[in-house]
A and B are shown apart, each in its own frame.
Chain A
Amino acid sequence: MRMAVTTPNETALAAGRGQSAPRWLLARHEGLRGLILLAPALVILGITVIVPFAMMGAMSFWTQVGFDYADDWSLRNYIEIASEPIYSTLLLRSLGMAMAATLLTVVLVYPMAYFLAFHVHRNKLLWLIIITLPFWTSYLLRVFAWRVVLGFEGVINTGLMEIGLIAEPLKFLLYSRTAVVITLAHAWAAFALLPIYVSLEKIDRSVLEASADLGEGPVMRFFRVILPLSMPGVIAGTFLMFIPTVGDYVTAALVGGPDARMIGNLIQLQFGTINNWPMGAALAITMILAITVVGLMFLGLMLALKRWAR
């Protein structure tokens, strides 16, 4: 078969025909094409995230006057937050409870991630799906489930009473900080698990063989090789879990009592029954700042630890 080269190519329609300037620009500048594709998402996020944040920042310097605001640009809200102990108490308590929940979760989740990374060979994907499945579904219901479990008339109390281990319901179970910490740990566990699993999975198996070859037993192998190599995952998991839990308010509202209130509950109240939006805005911004400061301190600590370990 011979294809004549002179056959007019059926696709070369516009050969040599000029193109308009914008199309030429697009054809030449990849970055521009990419930005245009990104534009819809970025514009929507700009409208729904950046503009509201700017407004929140602005409003935090206003003052609530009756049902109206005075845009007097004062630091009054922040001064109140700094001087009234209730705010710092709540803030510190939120940070503390989030830390406790994070610590609990990381400790509980690490062996599971280790098991998945090193001991599951078949159906790994299925395992991962089953572990992450609950975290995609209703947060509200998962928290509510703990109320069912911990409640005064809940699963644990009535269950223990049924077998006769206790005569009276254990009152400390529900409406306590412990209840909130347990519930938070359970609700956010996947956020800590996934990064740790990924960092363990990434460890080159030949590194383990090398350390065994160099005479390290299983325990020292873990502490000298596996743990240090998985630290990035641990740190990422810590952040992914700590940051959102500081601002949580659903959990405290459902299973926490008065002395388990968190900063999120107060923010919610400012926008609800207390109806002091500028104060709510100032609290939200204070919370972000506090999370940032604690996060940086944690990073600093980790870096110092790393230097010390060497």
Chain B
Amino acid sequence: MIRRHHFHRPNRGLQVYAVFFMALLYAPIMFIPLFSFSDGLYIRFPIEGWTLRWYDELLQRTAVLRALENSVRVAGSVAVVSTVLGVFAAKALVRYRVPGKGPILGFILLPLVVPPIIFGVALLLMVSWLQIPLSLYTIAAGHIIICLPFAIATLLPRFEGYDAAMEEAAADLGENGWWVFWRVTVPIILPGIVASLLLTFTVSFDEFVMAFFLGGTDLTLPLYVWGQLRIPRAFPVVLALGTLILLFSFVLVFLGLKIGRRGAIKLVDRD
């Protein structure tokens, strides 16, 4: 049982506030799925009837499916690349006495804070200067900048969470660096790797600003949604699409956060 400290007696006011906060947080988002089942062409109360026809219409659109495929391809490769880079970088930052560790970490985490529009236009500038055509590849390059901090932030605690002696023990038992990595490092940080893949996939899958500046004629899903937002008649279909995107993202992120944290907690609990 939890220790009931006299400072931590349940506070009715705060409890009410917490419920209010959570409602405020989720309510706006929940209107998207709600109205996606509404029969009317306009988003308004009262809802006149319920229908699945917007979903039906959505699946008829080849442009949506193509955008979905593009998004999955970009997000898949971005997730793999940023997680692999993240594993190496996190290992180096935690395990080795690297000169300038603090500034390097700060630099890598910078994109978490700097407005993405800055990275977007800067990359756009370079890409057009070098006469590289805008494509899914340029989008992916932009997404790696944004996803790398998330990968590293997810993986760093994993490396910090276990004793470097594990790797030394494996070396001591006769394994070279390559085998130590595969037989010890990877299995121990596996939850972190899975979490990083899930989270970076979602971040890239849902990313809009970079894609907006760096995208060519091939659209990703957020770009497609953006295009539809200018057409009020298309709103119901956007709502249906948005519902599916939100559902998909929520599931991936929930799993990612859950796996990532549980692993860390389990390792800490051990000693």
Contact = CB atoms under 8 A, between A and B. Distances in A.
A64 to B, nearest CB: 13
Contacts of A248: 115, 117
B102 interface: no
Interface string B1-28: 0100101101100110110011011111
A148 B32 contact: yes
A8 interface: no
Question: What DSSP secondary structure best describes chain A's contact surface?
Answer: helix
B265 interface: yes
Contacts of B8: 118-119, 121
B142 interface: yes
Contacts of A178: none
A273 interface: no
Nearest to B243: A141
Q: Size class of B's contact patch?
A: 35 or more
B229 A144 contact: yes
Interface string B118-137: 11011111100100000000
Interface in A146-194: 146, 148-149, 151, 153-155, 158-159, 161-162, 186, 189
Contacts, number: 245
Interface of B: 2, 5, 7-8, 10-11, 14-15, 17-18, 21-22, 24-29, 31-32, 35, 42-46, 85-86, 88-89, 91-93, 95-99, 104, 107-108, 110-119, 121-126, 129, 141-142, 144-145, 148, 152, 174, 199, 202-203, 206-209, 213, 222, 225-226, 229, 238-239, 242, 245-246, 249-250, 253-254, 256-258, 261-262, 265
Given A31-B97, A133-B257, A40 B88 contact: yes
9 contacts: A31-B98, A34-B93, A35-B92, A44-B85, A138-B206, A139-B209, A141-B242, A144-B242, A264-B117
Q: Size class of A's contact patch?
A: 35 or more
Interface stretch (A79-87, A227-235, A277-285, A301-309): A277-285
B197 to A, nearest CB: 14
**B86, B122, B124, B141 — most chain A CB neighbours (10 Å):** B122
A244 B122 contact: no
Interface in A114-150: 114-115, 118-119, 121-122, 125, 129-134, 136-142, 144-146, 148-149
B43 A148 contact: yes
Contacts of B256: 136
B89 A38 contact: yes
Nearest to A42: B104
A136 B256 CA distance: 11
